[in-house]
Chain A
Amino acid sequence: MTAIATSEPDDSVAVSSTEFLAVVAARELAGKGRVFAGVGLPTLAVDLAKRTVNPFLELVYESGVIGAHPEGMAEGIADSVLVSGADAVVSMQALFGYVLQGGNVDVGFLGAAQVDRHGSLNTSLIGDWRRPTVRLPGSGGAADIMPNAGECIVVLRRHDTGALPAELDFCTSPSPVRARAADPRSIPPGHGVATVITPLGVLRRPDKFGELELAQVHPGVSVEQVRENTGWDLALARELTETPRPTREDVRLLREEIDTVRLYLR
């Protein structure tokens, strides 16, 4: 594990790694229409995005909830607060078949234990397939979201060669590169992973069949530090910038309005 980049907002209030990641992720949702959100960091990010950069963001959950307007913070994607007052609650065939596979989700928001250079994800296992050292949660909806969402954003809580290896231990959710390699006729409609947000920086993949590139480093993090902690020879984007710090208002919203019980904020 590498040191986690922390930053300070304008008025010098210390920001935790989780808060920093949530703010960076929320800003990625500016201008997006419909987001398929998981639980945990994505919960914080989508809520913050709705209160700041994108009030009209439509939240879709794999439990079938569309256009959630929760009165409290959701503990899980099937929380009752997501249902009460939602625009719609639909069947799983409608959600996974018509909404997702039918091409109506702009952004999928995913987590992963491992991400490779093309944005393929491992959420299944570490080690031997038949007897893994760590059994991870598995696909859930991720393998369905990856090919079908317009693009995917991945948030990682660590940035090291274990989380960003040269080779995945297992590929749960494949990039378009892997899908094309498996069968050139099976190119998915979605872009795959477009953005990976880590504690050190932001990696972007502008080309559907290209590699992730380092596009942003967080304040206090060097390019070398990011490259040393990545399992392949990480390319640099043509324009490499420093991530803007969270504002005082971002932090206030997260702490005082979104996650008042500190369920996800650490």
Chain B
Amino acid sequence: MKPVKTRGLADAIAEYVEDGMTVALEGFGHLIPFAAGHEIIRQGRRDLTLCRMTPDLIADQMIAAGTVRKLVASFFASGSAGSLHEVRRRIEQHDPEPLEVEEYSHYGMFCRYQAAASGLPFFPLRSYAGSDLPELNPQIRVVEDPYGGAPVHVVPALAPDVTVVHAQRADRYGNVQLWGIVGAQQEVVYAGRRAIVTVEEIVDEEVVRSDPNRTLIPAHAVDAVVHCPGGAHPSYVQGCYDRDNAFYRDWTPISREPARLQAWLAEWVHGVPDRAAYLAKLGDHWPAAVAVGERLSRPVDYGRRLP
């Protein structure tokens, strides 16, 4: 019998995420696992090393909640919406305490996941020659090309204790299908020791197997699959709901004032038991304000062997 891996979000976080762990929550502007991040906050985890290429609002929230000791990232702003003020306060003013930061470029960060996913100690890339980044972050190093070419920079494998990603759908065994911007999700799931995947929809196995190329994360790489509709809000899920740009813009003034930010966490994270309650609390805003129209792909024919 194939193991059924469906779990509740609180259960999965409680079982796999421990204080002091290195935890990756990935999703490149798309499919950001906000619900899981909020659950980690609610359960009071401490001293996490948070890995995210683009920290986004979820990092600002988790750091403000006192969950994170160290941030490993390749961008320190919020896409279109500007500064992450909690991150900036911690780095610029050490307020309320310093935040340890390990900084890469996007491809450098991605190569770290790729190395770990592939069972390699490091990964080479042609960035950083002449940059100050290797001096700021001594994890970025240079090796000689053993085949006689120019030296090349390398980044070390990054194997999170736990990886969390969000996706459109999965079957109950944990075969995960996602589309649109796929970010580092496949690599980071294979890089991690444990993987929790939250999804908009749990579908029948036959739905997954009707389009196997879309299964970017096979069940063998997944420890828990969680049905969590709306789990990426205020980021988006291609074909399900759009990015809540109004919320992203509202975040800047909230995060600028520590008291307002703490009040927001009290109301919207600690003040709700789970994602369903969070969505209900959004009221008429959800899902009307972020609804998207239909734009179907044409089905492909995988064919079948004739008898």
Contacts and interface: CB of A to CB of B under 8 A. Distances in A.
B150 A186 contact: yes
Nearest to A65: B181
B103 A139 contact: yes
B126 A39 contact: no
Interface stretch (A16-24, A126-134, A196-204, A240-248): A126-134
B67 interface: no
Give 7 nearest A-B pairs by CB, closest first: A78-B29, A174-B130, A178-B130, A179-B130, A137-B77, A186-B129, A143-B105
Contacts of A75: 79-80, 243, 245
B6 interface: no
A135 B126 contact: no
A140 B295 contact: no
A80 B30 contact: yes
Interface stretch (A6-14, A51-59, A81-89, A157-165): A81-89
A259 B292 CA distance: 20
Interface in B120-152: 125-133, 136, 142, 150-151
Contact of B92 (A89, A134, A175): A134
B29 A76 contact: yes
Contacts of A143: 105, 108, 127-128, 131, 133
Contacts of B131: 143, 171-174, 178
Contacts of B180: 80, 83, 89
Nearest to A134: B92
A85 B295 contact: yes
B123 to A, nearest CB: 10
Contact of A188 (B77, B87, B129, B238): B129
Interface string A42-64: 00000000000000000000111
Given A96-B107, A137-B77, A171 B132 contact: yes
Contact of B28 (A92, A124, A187): A92
Range for the number of chain A residues in contact with chain B: 35 or more
Interface in A136-173: 136-144, 146-148, 170-173
A150 B236 CA distance: 33
B60 interface: no
A132 B91 contact: yes
B151 A185 contact: yes
27 contacts: A63-B30, A77-B29, A89-B181, A89-B182, A93-B187, A120-B130, A124-B132, A124-B136, A131-B91, A132-B91, A135-B92, A136-B77, A140-B106, A141-B106, A141-B107, A143-B128, A144-B107, A146-B127, A147-B129, A148-B126, A170-B136, A172-B131, A173-B131, A174-B130, A179-B129, A183-B142, A185-B151
Contacts of B94: 131
B76 interface: yes
A175 B107 contact: no
**Counting chain A CB atoms within 10 Å of each CB, which of B129, B184, B292 scores highest?**
B129
Contact of A180 (B54, B126, B130, B183): B130
B76 A138 contact: yes
Interface in B88-116: 88, 91-92, 94, 103-108, 110, 114
**Counting chain A CB atoms within 10 Å of each CB, which of B73, B105, B142, B150 scores highest?**
B105
A131 to B, nearest CB: 7
A225 interface: no
B113 to A, nearest CB: 9
A79 B292 CA distance: 13
A222 interface: no
B185 to A, nearest CB: 9
A101 interface: yes
A104 B104 CA distance: 23
A63 B132 contact: no
B200 interface: no
Contacts of B295: 84-85
B244 to A, nearest CB: 11
B168 interface: no
A135 B19 CA distance: 28
B268 interface: no
A2 interface: no
A4 to B, nearest CB: 21
A136 B107 CA distance: 18
Contact of B30 (A78, A92, A179): A78
Contacts of A65: 181
A142 B128 CA distance: 10
**Counting chain A CB atoms within 10 Å of each CB, which of B28, B108, B128, B181 scores highest?**
B181
B264 interface: no
A225 B107 CA distance: 39
A260 interface: no
B163 interface: no
Contacts of B183: 63-64, 92
Contacts of B181: 63-65, 78, 83, 89
B292 to A, nearest CB: 7
A112 B182 CA distance: 27
A251 to B, nearest CB: 23
